[in-house]
Chains A and B, each alone.
Chain A
């Protein structure tokens, strides 16, 4: 199934940001995922062939990506294994500039002959399109790094863990949730390994091994008499880690003052499944929210998505410039606002950082998919909009001399383009805990976990839900709420940020399947934050009768 079909099946084709899990490539056995591929030396010979062919055909720049992309998903429901899918995709993508225009072609024939054919096709496409090219491509300079290597610093390769162990863990979580009142549980474990080799005419030969993992579940409870059903999703985060994330460590657990457990760099799926069953049952009896203005206390695994949608996406330079106008949209954060140096994106305590080097994050790599070394930079400093996310062919358009290193392609078969780096809210500098934050709120709502999300194509107006909602009354938790969603405007929202917990509360949220581009591509990105308070946000009640 092609990704497009997959997205269409969900009925969300048009706004398909946050894509479902695509099983790309060919199904293979779990064992086959551990088999070797070409050696680095063999890849270099093939890459050099492409670089030379492209040059002889008139290309002024060429990059070659030889990639082996491994996916594995384990899906279960209640006592049953629904599917174990392992897939492998191997091939090469060649991108060239000829007559000042990009051309791209890819092939799964990773041989000198196959690569020469694809290179010729890429140059031909560039030349055909150059007839209508009005803005010749200009690349920001990048040093040639020679032959270098970067690997995600994992402790346990998830692909080496027997599938039976993963199945047992998920079935155990399901069983515990059922014992605690769940009627249904769907649980999944997704694992990705990108083995990518990059070479370019700038003189870089970069070999990288990238790992990502995501355990998740949905627990549902049914009240047959009333016909009501409620669910609660896992409070895990997808991470740029190995199987070590699946082994719970006490130092990674944070227990809220009202007894809810949240997770940092390791996850206890069984414990969370039990909590989910209990909370889903509690939701059936929870009070329906009274609409109005509330002070919101947003937990990092919830706030991450708000950061993603209202800061991460609007500061993508390709959107700002109009390259995404026909799909993901443009941005309210225009270049004149950036150049003014005075645009108040948020309150003074809002510091938002882009970071492709952050440990355990989904976006961490050594080099991006056009050979730029990864880095860290400010996007919003003390509330002021100070920078964007640029790649090599865009840097000159904002007067920058260097790319920010956030170019990515989901596979060898797709062309690379600008994707969001990890974008995170810096923790508060003064010591401040969640307990203290709740004590300071008179009329508020604590929201944890990722729920419904929607934002306009220029990123002004948004609406978010969550997994669990607790009412805060006069500094204390006053019970669970239901039917909660908040609506706001990006600039207004970030200017209502009044308090941020300190670094002890800092955690990563992740988006495993963020969609952008046509044809749509998926990328993975993390967003870190500590629990944060926003004053006077408009909360609506989402209950309806049909």
Chain B
């Protein structure tokens, strides 16, 4: 990892908010100016956000948030599902307010050498974590799963090539998504697959990727305390090289794990 001008890989920065706007009925986008952080952030990494509105209201601990946009113009974007006190406080921020960001954190996605095309399978706001893969090199085809068309956020994901599946019409059922993925793998086999946002879709992709011999990774979420690897709050069961199940820290060894070593959550 390259380092900040200060010589430290991870920085705490008060970032001016540039954009703050609702997306559909349940989501929110925040874009901040963070030139140093943006230059050092890789797809799949996250930041630890102090969730305080302009009046200082918000929860005690920071919240981990995937980086949704890594702007060449020195901006970082976050796409939030507004569902608790932390995300509600973030959604109250307005342009000109400051967002206190610690980052970049964790290990991002790794693309196999020479990968020309990848497939991503995202559920809900999990697409925010996967979105930085678009434009990172290989052609990206996405399968986006959402409750209903109004929740899809295909524009927020940014890939021109995607399939959308919905709970509202039954197209997001595991059987339907499996059939869709099999067609895709047989017609245009991806060099790697990536997923985030659903345990059910993770298990499906893990099984199919093993069957087709395709490398893959999953980005996991977990409650965090420090975000830096010190508190051991955010562990998940992961298989090690020998197949033994060990606790690994989502913030430190993750949040991106090998698709075959990660386990159902």
Q: Is chain B found bound to chain A in the same assembly? A: no
